[in-house]
C-alpha cells in the first residue's frame, strides 16, 4: 500500500528552537533515538523544519519521548473524524463466538509519504555546545500529529475491507489498532481470522501474539464481553491526583466513555461537571468537593453493578425513558438494556420544558439505535399518561414528528425486569399552573416593565415597584411578577403586554430546565419556585396577557 500524502495549508518552513534538556533526560533521548534509528522509524535530517521534543518518566521508570508538533499541525489540513464514535459491543449478536486482536506498534508500522517526512524533524541538543546538534526526522506516523489517527484508520481498513467483502457473514469491529471478529459459526469465524492475518501482514501490520483473545470471555475497548453480557472491567476511581482542570476533564472524559454501558445520569455527573466551570486554563487548580466525592462513590458502585445485554438481530428494539429530578435518560432495550443515552448536561435554550427535553432525547435515542443497529425502534415507553402525550403532540413539533411521521408507538407500561426497578422512576402528572381561561373571582393584576429597569404592578389599589440592574424592560417585568407572587398567595389573573414574559411564565409552570448562564436565570428560577410552592393559577386571556 502506498503511503498517503498529507495536505498542507502552506509550505513555509517552521522552526521552533529546541529547549535545553538535563543530562539525565538527554541520555534517555539518545537511548530512544538509537532504538528508533535501528528500527527504521527515524533517519538523520537536514530539514528546514524543526519542532521541540521532551521526555517524561513513566510509572515503570522508563522514559517516553514526546514530540511537540503543534506548529506543524497548524499548517496541516485536518482530515476530519473518519469514525465519529466507538463500535458498541452490545450490538454483537448473542452467543456469536469472538476473536480480539491488538495490532503491535500500529503508528510505527505506517510510513509517512516521502514528501512529508522533512516536516517532522527535531533536534537533540548537546550540553555546552560541545559539537553540532544532531537532527532527525520521522519516517513513520509520529504520535501527536493531527492526522495520525485518521491515517491509521484508513491504513488498517485497507486490510480489513477485503475480508469483509470475502466473508459477508462475519462482522469485524475496527477502531484504531483494536479489532474484534465475530460470526454465527466457528468455521466462518476462523476462515475470516486466517484471512485477516494474511491481509494485515501484506500491508506491514503485525498482530501482538500475546494479545490475541479467543473464548467465551474477551476484553474489548475497556469492557468485558461474554456470550450474553457486556460489563465494565474491574476498576477503582483514583482521586489522589485530581488537582487541576485537566485532571478533572480526563476523569469526566473516562466516565463519559463508560456512560452508554452504565446508569450514570446527568444528575449523577453534575457535581463533577460543576468542577469544570471557571478558569479555562488546563493547569488551573481544582479541588474535589464533598458533593463530587459522594457522587464518585455512587458512580463506582453503579458501574460495578451494571450488566448490559448483547443483542438479538431478529428482535425489535425499544426505547425506555426514565426521569430523574430534572434530567431524563433513555435506554435502548431488547428484553434487557443494550445502551444508555443521555441528554447534554446544559440546556440548549434558556427555558427547556420537560416535554421537549424528553422528545429531544427520544429523537437522539432513535438516531443512536439506527446508527448502531441499522434499524429504528418501533416502541417507546415514557412516564407520561396518554392525555399528556396527546397534549405534547399538539403543542410540540418534536412529539408530532415522533408520533405522526416516524410512527413510533408511545406507551407507558414498562417491562417487568429487575433492571427497570434499578432505574429511577418518577410518576409525572401534568398540573396546569397557568390556565388558559380567567379564574373566576380572582383578583386582576396589571404588570409592566419599562426601559431603564423599572417594573410596576397594580391590583386592589396597591402598587409594587422594582428597579433592576439591567435596563431591559423584560427583566424588569419578570422581577415585578416574582415580587407579586412572593407577596400575594391568592389566585390571580395577571395581565402583561410582553409576549416574551407571558410565554416564559407559562413554560415555568411546567417541569422546566433553566439555563444557568442566562441573564434572566435569577428571575426565572424564583418564579418557578414560587409557582411550584403555591396553589395559584395564572391565565392568558389574549395574546399579550396571562
- Please report the pLDDT score of residue 513 as a whole number: 66
Integer Cα distance of 150 and 15 in angstroms: 26
Asked if 483 and 476 count as a contact pair (C-beta separation under 8 A), the reply is: no
Stronger pLDDT, 520 or 149, i.e. the higher one:
149
Q: For the chain, what percent of residues have pLDDT higher than 90?
A: 34
Q: Is the pLDDT of residue 214 over 80?
A: yes
pLDDT, the chain, mean: 84
- Span of 150-164, 377-391, 407-421 with lowest mean pLDDT: 407-421
CATH architecture of the domain 434-539 equals 2-Layer Sandwich (3.30)
**pLDDT digit string (tens) for 85-126?**
788 888 999 999 999 999 988 888 999 999 999 999 999 998
For residues 248-264, average pLDDT: 79
Gap between the terminal Cα atoms of the chain? 70
Asked if 321 and 328 count as a contact pair (C-beta separation under 8 A), the reply is: yes
CA 183 to chain centre: 30
Asked if 431 and 420 count as a contact pair (C-beta separation under 8 A), the reply is: no
Cα torsion for 340, 344, 350, 355, to the nearest 10°? -10
Stronger pLDDT, 505 or 376, i.e. the higher one:
376
Q: Which residues contact 397 (CB under 8 A, 6 or more apart)?
A: none
Break the chain into its structural domains and give their ranges.
23-81+111-138, 89-109+148-225, 245-305, 312-422, 434-539
Dihedral over Cα of 57, 59, 64, 70: its sign: negative
**pLDDT digit string (tens) for 24-82?**
999 999 999 999 999 999 999 999 999 999 988 887 788 989 999 999 999 999 987 77
Q: Position of cell 535545553?
A: 20
Closest CA to 305 of 146, 419, 158, 397: 419
Q: What are phi and psi of 219, to 5 degrees?
A: -110, 130
State the fold for domain 245-305. Answer: Alpha-Beta Plaits (3.30.70)
Q: Helix 521-533 and helix 473-487: axis angle, to 10°?
A: 30
Q: What are phi and psi of 70, to 5 degrees?
A: -60, -40
- Please report the pLDDT score of residue 429 as a whole number: 42
Closest CA to 101 of 169, 158, 35, 156: 156
Looking at 3.40.50.12500, 3.40.50.170, 3.30.70.270, 3.30.300.170, the CATH number of the domain 312-422 comes to 3.30.70.270
Dihedral over Cα of 254, 333, 370, 228: its sign: positive
**pLDDT digit string (tens) for 361-392?**
999 999 999 988 889 999 999 988 899 899 89
Asked if 412 and 383 count as a contact pair (C-beta separation under 8 A), the reply is: yes
**pLDDT digit string (tens) for 519-528?**
777 777 777 7
In the DSSP assignment, the letter for residue 135 is E
DSSP states along 422-464 = HS---------SEESSPPTTPEEEEEEEETTTEEEEEETTEEE
Band (pLDDT 50/70/90 cuts) for residue 436 is: low
State the fold for domain 23-81+111-138. Answer: HIV Type 1 Reverse Transcriptase; Chain A, domain 1 (3.10.10)
3-state DSSP call for residue 337? Answer: strand
Helical ranges in 383-472 per DSSP H: 386-395, 397-400, 418-422
Q: Which residues contact 546 (CB under 8 A, 6 or more apart)?
A: 434, 494, 495, 496, 502, 505, 506, 538, 539, 540
Band (pLDDT 50/70/90 cuts) for residue 464 is: confident
Q: Is the pLDDT of residue 319 over 90?
A: yes
Q: For the chain, what percent of residues have pLDDT higher than 70?
A: 89
**pLDDT digit string (tens) for 191-213?**
999 999 999 998 889 898 888 99
Q: Are strands 434-435 and 538-539 parallel, antiparallel or unpaired?
A: parallel
Integer Cα distance of 122 and 37 in angstroms: 14
In the DSSP assignment, the letter for residue 111 is B
Same fold: 23-81+111-138 with 245-305: no
- Please report the pLDDT score of residue 432 as a whole number: 55
For residues 343-370, average pLDDT: 80
3-state DSSP call for residue 216? Answer: coil
Stronger pLDDT, 16 or 525, i.e. the higher one:
16
Looking at 3.40.50.1860, 3.30.70.270, 3.50.50.60, 3.20.20.70, the CATH number of the domain 89-109+148-225 comes to 3.30.70.270
Q: Which residues of 436-462 are buried (b: 16+ CB within 10 A; e: fewer)?
A: eeebeebeebebbbeeebbbbbebeee
Which cell goes with 453? 429597569
Closest CA to 426 of 359, 343, 354: 354
Which cell goes with 459? 391590583
**pLDDT digit string (tens) for 268-285?**
888 998 899 888 888 889
Closest CA to 437 of 544, 508, 538, 534: 538
Q: Position of cell 475497548?
A: 221
Cα separation values, 477 from 352, 498, 510, 545, Å: 20, 8, 20, 12
Band (pLDDT 50/70/90 cuts) for residue 354 is: confident
CA 110 to chain centre: 30
- Please report the pLDDT score of residue 537 as a whole number: 53
- Please report the pLDDT score of residue 31 as a whole number: 95
Q: Which residues contact 197 (CB under 8 A, 6 or more apart)?
A: 207
Q: What are phi and psi of 452, to 5 degrees?
A: 100, -10
Amino acid at each position: 500500500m502506498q503511503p498517503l500524502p498529507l495536505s498542507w495549508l502552506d509550505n513555509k518552513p517552521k522552526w521552533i528552537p529546541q529547549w535545553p534538556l538535563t543530562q539525565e533526560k538527554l541520555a534517555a533521548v539518545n537511548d530512544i533515538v538509537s532504538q528508533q534509528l535501528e528500527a527504521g522509524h527515524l533517519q538523520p535530517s537536514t530539514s528546514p523544519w524543526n519542532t521541540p521534543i521532551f521526555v517524561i518518566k513513566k510509572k515503570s521508570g522508563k522514559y517516553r519521548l514526546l514530540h511537540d508538533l503543534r506548529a506543524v499541525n497548524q499548517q496541516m489540513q485536518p482530515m476530519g473524524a473518519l469514525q465519529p464514535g466507538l463500535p458498541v459491543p452490545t450490538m454483537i449478536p448473542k452467543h456469536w463466538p469472538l476473536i480480539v486482536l491488538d495490532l503491535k506498534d500500529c503508528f510505527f508500522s505506517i510510513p509517512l509519504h516521502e514528501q512529508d517526512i522533512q516536516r517532522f524533524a527535531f533536534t537533540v541538543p548537546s550540553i555546552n555546545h560541545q559539537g553540532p546538534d544532531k537532527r532527525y526526522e520521522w519516517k513513520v506516523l509520529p504520535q501527536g500529529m493531527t492526522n495520525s489517527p485518521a491515517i491509521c484508520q484508513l491504513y488498517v481498513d485497507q486490510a480489513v475491507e477485503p475480508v469483509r467483502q470475502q466473508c459477508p457473514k462475519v462482522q469485524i469491529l475496527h477502531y484504531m489498532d483494536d479489532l474484534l471478529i465475530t460470526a454465527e459459526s466457528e468455521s466462518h469465524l476462523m476462515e475470516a481470522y486466517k484471512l485477516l492475518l494474511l491481509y494485515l501482514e501484506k500491508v506491514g501490520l503485525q498482530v501482538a501474539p500475546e494479545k490475541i483473545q479467543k473464548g467465551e470471555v474477551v476484553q474489548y475497548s475497556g469492557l468485558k464481553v461474554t456470550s450474553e453480557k457486556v460489563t465494565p472491567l474491574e476498576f477503582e476511581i483514583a482521586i489522589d491526583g485530581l488537582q487541576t482542570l485537566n485532571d478533572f476533564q480526563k476523569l469526566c472524559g473516562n466516565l463519559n466513555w463508560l456512560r452508554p454501558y452504565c446508569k450514570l445520569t446527568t444528575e449523577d455527573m453534575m457535581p463533577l461537571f460543576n468542577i469544570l466551570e471557571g478558569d479555562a486554563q488546563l493547569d488551573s487548580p481544582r479541588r474535589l468537593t464533598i458533593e463530587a466525592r459522594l457522587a464518585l462513590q455512587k458512580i463506582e458502585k453503579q458501574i460495578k453493578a451494571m450488566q448490559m445485554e448483547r443483542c438479538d438481530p431478529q428482535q425489535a428494539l425499544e426505547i425506555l425513558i426514565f426521569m430523574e429530578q430534572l434530567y431524563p435518560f433513555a435506554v435502548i432495550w431488547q428484553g434487557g438494556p443494550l445502551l444508555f443515552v443521555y441528554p447534554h448536561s446544559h440546556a440548549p435554550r434558556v427555558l427547556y420544558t420537560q416535554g421537549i427535553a424528553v422528545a429531544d432525547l427520544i429523537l437522539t435515542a432513535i438516531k443512536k439505535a439506527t446508527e448502531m443497529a441499522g434499524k429504528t425502534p418501533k416502541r417507546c415507553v415514557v412516564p407520561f399518561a396518554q392525555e399528556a402525550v396527546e397534549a405534547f403532540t399538539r403543542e410540540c413539533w418534536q412529539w408530532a414528528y415522533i408520533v405522526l411521521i416516524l410512527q413510533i408507538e408511545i406507551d407507558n407500561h414498562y417491562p417487568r425486569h429487575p433492571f427497570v426497578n434499578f432505574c429511577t422512576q418518577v410518576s409525572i402528572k401534568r398540573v396546569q399552573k397557568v390556565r388558559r381561561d380567567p379564574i373566576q373571582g380572582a383578583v386582576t393584576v396589571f404588570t409592566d416593565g419599562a426601559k431603564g429597569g423599572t417594573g410596576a404592578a397594580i391590583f386592589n389599589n396597591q402598587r409594587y415597584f422594582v428597579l433592576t440592574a439591567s435596563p431591559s424592560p423584560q427583566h424588569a417585568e419578570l422581577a415585578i411578577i416574582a415580587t407579586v407572587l412572593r407577596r400575594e398567595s391568592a389566585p390571580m389573573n395577571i395581565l402583561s403586554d410582553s409576549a416574551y414574559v407571558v410565554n416564559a411564565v407559562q413554560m415555568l409552570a411546567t417541569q422546566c430546565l433553566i439555563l444557568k448562564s442566562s441573564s434572566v436565570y435569577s428571575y426565572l428560577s424564583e418564579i418557578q419556585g414560587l409557582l411550584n410552592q403555591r396553589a395559584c393559577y395564572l391565565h392568558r386571556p389574549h395574546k399579550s396577557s396571562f
